[in-house]
């Protein structure tokens, strides 16, 4: 059974850090977001600490996000139960006292650079396992960012990210070039991490990288795409001009990081950052790369949604894989194994 692959109906995986949102989205106004099929309310205390609670009053299921913040606590907008940041009921107005039996699940929500990482798993949250995204935190890289919610399952998005042969056909003239589909690729697996390296020896500069200043020449392009966890895919790109000018720069690095957070089985929150180690003060470069990435990822979203419709129409249909699917298939077996492990008692 370990041969089986995860698909659009495989149960979601709880024991994983997922990005719940951008730090900048969450403040003193409550934000409700569905993650792994659970409704979560996000806010910050007066001191700025990010808080995540189940967005459902344990009393009569009212979304807490429809209530109001009172200092650091949440007042339910129905019968006025008040909960602190750990989910303990500190006041039940109808009783005139706190009510310990009434608690709301509170979740670990950790801030790392621009990201808020959420743990909804069964086991204890281990902060040391929050994915490393230091290049978004250390000020050495500039980056743009964006997000969208896809009407499709998250497995397909991971598979999309591991198989860049689609660049040539789905994203021509943006991040794709004709050589990309046939570029040699090498897959390595370490535990539950799947890495695929792809090397294009000689191509034109794709539109999205025009801000490198290499627009006129030819380049080599090396991409290492890594499925790091159910919630994270990280790609590192190295661009080298084939004929670097004397004294000119001979390496341009880009990191495109994809934060994949299932909303439920049928939809997926998709956050991304696109960081670079060049032209760091150039805001137009940030904007250009951001908008080109967003355009490409919107094409992915549209394709994945069309695929989801086809899959829903005939769920028994068995898709055929080929050699270039090695990374994706390996990743889907890992997801299936993780889901099975969580399902077993």
Give the footprint of its own copies on this chain (CB under 8 A): 34, 37-39, 55-56, 58-63, 66-67, 75-80, 92-96, 99, 101-102, 156, 159, 163, 165-166, 168-170, 181-182, 303, 306-307, 309-311, 313-314, 317, 319-324
If the CB atoms of residues 18 and 143 are measured against its own copies, the closer one turns out to be 18
Contacts of 186 (CB under 8 A, 6+ apart): 196, 197, 198
Q: How far is the CB of 23 from its own copies (least distance, A)?
A: 26
- Report the C-alpha gap between 280 and 301 in whole angstroms: 29
Q: How far is the CB of 66 from its own copies (least distance, A)?
A: 6
C-alpha separations of 95 from 72, 80, 81, 89 in Å: 22, 11, 10, 12
If the CB atoms of residues 96 and 246 are measured against its own copies, the closer one turns out to be 96
If the CB atoms of residues 22 and 78 are measured against its own copies, the closer one turns out to be 78
Give the pair of three-digit tokens for residue 35: 């993650």
Dihedral of alpha carbons 258, 261, 265, 268, sign: negative
Q: How far is the CB of 62 from its own copies (least distance, A)?
A: 6
If the CB atoms of residues 250 and 319 are measured against its own copies, the closer one turns out to be 319
If the CB atoms of residues 121 and 213 are measured against its own copies, the closer one turns out to be 121
**Nearest CA among 201, 195, 220, 198 for reference residue 209:** 220
How many CB atoms sit inside 10 A of residue 31's CB?
Answer: 17
If the CB atoms of residues 102 and 118 are measured against its own copies, the closer one turns out to be 102
| DSSP H or E run through 82 | strand 82-83
Determine contact, residues 226/235, Cβ cutoff 8 Å.
Answer: yes
For the chain, counts of helices (H) and of strands (E): 4, 17
Q: How far is the CB of 153 from its own copies (least distance, A)?
A: 12
Q: If DSSP codes are grouped into helix, strand and coil, which group holds residue 153?
A: coil
Q: How far is the CB of 331 from its own copies (least distance, A)?
A: 14
Q: How many CA atoms lie within 13 A of 118 on its CB side?
A: 32
Q: How far is the CB of 149 from its own copies (least distance, A)?
A: 16
Q: How far is the CB of 170 from its own copies (least distance, A)?
A: 6
If the CB atoms of residues 46 and 317 are measured against its own copies, the closer one turns out to be 317
**Nearest CA among 5, 50, 19 for reference residue 234:** 19
Determine contact, residues 139/159, Cβ cutoff 8 Å.
Answer: no
């Amino acid at each position: 059974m370990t041969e089986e692959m995860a698909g659009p109906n495989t149960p979601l995986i709880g024991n994983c850090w997922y990005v719940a949102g951008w730090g900048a989205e969450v403040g003193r106004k409550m934000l409700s977001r569905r993650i792994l099929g659970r409704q979560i309310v996000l806010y910050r205390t007066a001191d700025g600490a990010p808080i995540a609670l189940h967005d459902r009053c344990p009393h009569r299921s009212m979304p807490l996000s429809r209530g109001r913040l009172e200092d650091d606590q949440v007042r339910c907008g129905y019968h006025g139960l008040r909960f602190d940041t750990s989910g303990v009921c500190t006041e039940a107005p109808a009783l005139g006292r706190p009510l310990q039996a009434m608690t709301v699940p509170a979740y670990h929500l950790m801030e790392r650079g621009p990201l808020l990482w959420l743990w909804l798993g069964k086991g204890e949250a281990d902060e040391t396992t929050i994915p490393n995204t230091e290049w978004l935190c250390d000020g050495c890289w500039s980056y743009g960012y964006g997000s969208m919610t896809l009407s499709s399952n998250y497995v397909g998005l991971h598979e999309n990210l591991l198989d860049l042969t689609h660049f040539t056909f789905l994203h021509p003239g943006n991040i794709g070039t004709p050589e990309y589909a046939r570029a040699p690729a090498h897959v390595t697996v370490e535990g539950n991490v799947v890495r695929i390296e792809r090397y294009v020896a000689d191509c034109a500069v794709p539109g999205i990288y025009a801000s490198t200043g290499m627009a006129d020449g030819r380049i080599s392009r090396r991409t290492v795409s890594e499925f790091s966890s159910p919630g994270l895919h990280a790609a590192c790109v190295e661009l080298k001009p084939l004929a670097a000018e004397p004294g000119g720069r001979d390496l341009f690095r880009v990191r495109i990081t994809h934060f994949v957070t299932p909303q439920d089985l049928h939809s997926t929150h998709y956050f991304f950052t696109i960081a670079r180690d060049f032209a760091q003060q150039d805001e137009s470069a940030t904007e250009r790369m951001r908008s080109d990435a967003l355009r490409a990822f919107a094409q992915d979203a549209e394709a994945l949604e069309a695929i989801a419709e086809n899959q829903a129409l005939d769920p028994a249909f068995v898709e055929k894989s080929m050699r270039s699917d090695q990374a994706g298939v390996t990743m889907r077996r890992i997801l299936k194994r993780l889901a099975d492990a969580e399902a077993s008692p």
